[in-house]
Structure 1
Amino acid sequence: MPVSKPKAAVSRKTTEAIKPKRVVRKKKKNGLSTKWKVALAGLLLVLLSPLYYGYILNGFVATWRWVRDWGQDPNYRTYKSFNIKIPKKYAIHGIDVSYYQGKINWSKVKLMKEDEVSIRFAFIKATEGVLLVDPYFQRNWREAPKVGIVCGAYHFFRPKRDGKTQAKFFLQVVDIEKGDLPPVVDIESLDGISPLKMRTELMDFLNYVELKTKVRPIIYTGLTFYKDYLEDHFDGYPLWIAHYYQPKLNLDKSKWNFWQHSDKARINGIGHIVDFNAFNGDSLAFEKMKIDKL
């Protein structure tokens, strides 16, 4: 019988070389990572916290108060015919005009009325600086009183110009009569000079007008300009303040007489938007504002 040959020895290295490698598969992680779990837990704690709901409630209350005080304040409502909101706590209303409004039909202005609001007075631009006369002044000054509107004339003041010279110019143009509102000086800017210089020239204007007419003039200005440059310097002068689109003028009521609360009113008989004003007082106080002697 043939003798079988012994099998050749196979090295361990060779054996390992021919064994297929085992593939290790990474297990897919189910759910969220620890980082996201911590974030969600924190969010849940916030949402369930009484402080969070207190914050939301405070925000809701603040929004409701804003709507109540500004959007739906019963003392500051929209008048459709005038196309603006008007404070309701004032009984006497008026406008101020210049060449900007063009030719005005004052009869239509006088007849316009919505509820208790009508035009009782008008301030009319007369002059500016030392040379400019408003081209519509004489017509407005003549026609508005004919329909029963009480009028006052105003001068647009230029601080760089001599105050007394401006006052003389203003009085040369305006014929002030008994029953008119006091003359007005409109001061709105420094025009590049110091506040002290502006106040000096303004005082010269006021003194000269009062000397010649025996009437203390009204000062017109914006609320910010008044607080920055005029407050505590012209006490005793009637004050007309511009402060727009607010249910209340942010100034002590004892300090002002007229409030220009809008510059966007629509008035019958006028082809352009107009400034709208309220008088701080009743009919008796308004009568006392008028010039009773010259």
Structure 2
Amino acid sequence: MPPPVKKTTIKAKTPVKRKPAAKNKKAAGIPVQWKIAGAGLLLILLSPFYYGYILRSASATWRWILDIGQDTNYRTYKSFNIRIPSGYTVHGIDVSSYQGKINWQKVKAMNEDGVHISFAFIKATEGVLSMDPYFQRNWREAPKAGIICGAYHFFLPQKSGVWQARFFLQTVKVEKGDLPMVVDVERLYGTTPAKMREQLLSFIKHITSKTGVKPIIYTNLSFYADYLQGYFDDYPLWIAHYYQPQLRVGSNTNWQFWQNSDKARINGINMKVDFNVFKGDSTEFSRLLIP
């Protein structure tokens, strides 16, 4: 049996009182981070790039203010869900199978502050074999609703222009009061610009010889400027240029139609639609129609 353990009494220590921190009467210095930030800001302010940025921003803002002042009527039409440029009285749309089955009576009845659909360009064919599956229905039903129509062909420059024109004419039967036929050319598809223009000219000449009416050339602004300008000035143009108060082309450009939006909402159509304006008034529009 082990001997009894001797108990040792431990005396509790008197708690040591903490002395309050001495007050620093000296003002605190500026943190290092602030000094670095201040130096960086000073370098920016002294930089010529900073002033160049300020001047460019101010210039852009001023141009925006001037544009708004000049185009006070370039406003949003709620029912169409787009901004429509001012100064035009004849408006229309263009459609293809993408828009599906269209209720043309509802399209015709739509009106906001005098803006309504007067005409429609309808896709008919593409290349030498493809016909739009909704063309025949649209070509039949739109005129019944009182909408003036024109048919368009999507042009493939790697295919024969004459063959494409023949296919287009076999599919579309134009009548008095229709809009001229349209050729839609937007891409080179691997061909050279010269080859594209050669086939396009063959297409145009064949259509003109068979109908007696020059077709309208549809394209976008950049494609026109890069590949068509100066080559087809005798033909009426339909140019795509979106979300702008003005179509920015030369005053001598022979444009008749301007596709100014691709996001219009039209009653009777479930998908977004391209929206267009005609350059002239209703009298000039009538003169453009097939006699």
In structure 1, C-alpha distance between the alignment counterparts of 2:241 and 2:153, rounded to whole Å:
20
Distance 2:240 2:127 in 1: 21
Secondary structure in 2 matching 1:82: coil
CA 1:60–1:220: 2 relative to 1, 3 Å: same
Provide the residue aligned with 2:237 in structure 1: 239
Distance 1:110-1:193 versus aligned 2 partners, 3 A rule: same
Which segment drifts farther, 243-252 or 219-228? 243-252
* Cα distance in 2 between the residues matched to 1:270 and 1:68: 36
Distance in 2 (CA, whole Å) between partners of 1:222 and 1:53 is 37
Separation in structure 2 between the aligned mates of residue 108 and residue 253 of structure 1, nearest angstrom: 36
Structure 1 match to 2:136: 138
Partner of residue 269, structure 1: 268
CA distance in 1, matches of 2:175, 2:147: 14
Cα 1:161–1:42 change in 2 (3 A) is closer
Give 1:55 shift: 8.6
**Highest Rg: 1 or 2?**
1
Q: Distance in 2 between matches of 1:222 and 1:58?
A: 29
Deviation digits for residues 209-235 of structure 1, max 9, x if unmatched? Answer: 000000000000010001100000111
- Secondary structure of 1:285 counterpart: helix
**Structure 2 residue identity aligned to 1:219:** I
Identity %: 66
Listed as ranges, the gaps of 5+ residues in structure 1 are: 1-27
Whole-angstrom distance in 1 between the partners of 2:208 and 2:84: 33
**Residue 71 of structure 2 contacts residue 86 of structure 2 at CA under 8 Å; is this kept in 1?**
no
Whichever residue aligns with residue 83 of structure 1, its letter is N
- Find the aligned partners of 1:139 and 1:246 in 2 and give their Cα distance: 33
The residue that corresponds to 1:291 in the other structure is 290
Instruction: Kindly provide the amino acid, as one letter, of the partner of residue 290 in structure 1.
Output: L
Separation (CA, whole Å) in 1 of partners of 2:40 and 2:243: 44
What's the CA shift for 1:135? 0.7
Amino acid in the other structure paired with 2:246: K
Q: CA RMSD in A?
A: 3.0
Partner of 2:17: none
Matches of residues 69-108 of structure 1 in structure 2 within 5 Å? 69=67, 73-108=71-106
Which whole-Å CA distance do the structure 1 matches of 2:285 and 2:220 have between them? Answer: 22
Code of the aligned partner of 1:263:
D
Contact 1:70 1:247 survives alignment (8 Å): no
Whether 1:248 and 2:249 are equivalent positions in the alignment is: no
Q: Give how far 1:63 is off.
A: 2.1
Stretch moving more, 89-98 or 65-74: 65-74
Q: TM-score, normalising length from structure 2?
A: 0.81
Deviates more, 1:186-195 or 1:63-72: 63-72
Greater Cα offset, 249-258 or 138-147: 249-258
Matched residues in 1 for 2:212 and 2:52: separation?
62
Structure 2: gaps spanning 5 or more residues: 1-25
Cα distance change of structure 1 residues 42 and 245 upon mapping to structure 2, 3 Å threshold: closer
Q: What do residues 127-168 of structure 1 show as CA deviations (whole Å, max 9, x unaligned)?
A: 000001111111111111112111100000011110000000
Counterparts of 1:43 and 1:263 in 2: how far apart (Å)?
A: 45
Aligned residues of 1:152 and 1:184 also touching (Cα < 8 A)? yes
Q: Offset of 1:40 from its aligned partner?
A: 6.5
1:89 Cα offset (Å): 1.3
Superposition map of 1:6-45 within 5 A: none
Q: What secondary structure, in the 3-state scheme, does the structure 2 residue paired with 1:108 have?
A: helix
Aligned equivalent of 2:210:
212
Displacement of 1:41 in angstroms is: 9.9
Write the distance in 1 (CA, Å) between the matches of 2:202 and 2:41. Answer: 68
After TM superposition, give the deviation of residue 42 of structure 1 in Å. 11
AA paired with 1:87? Answer: P
| Map 1:56-71 → 2, pairs under 5 A | 59-60=57-58, 62-67=60-65, 69=67
Partner of 2:116, secondary structure, is: strand
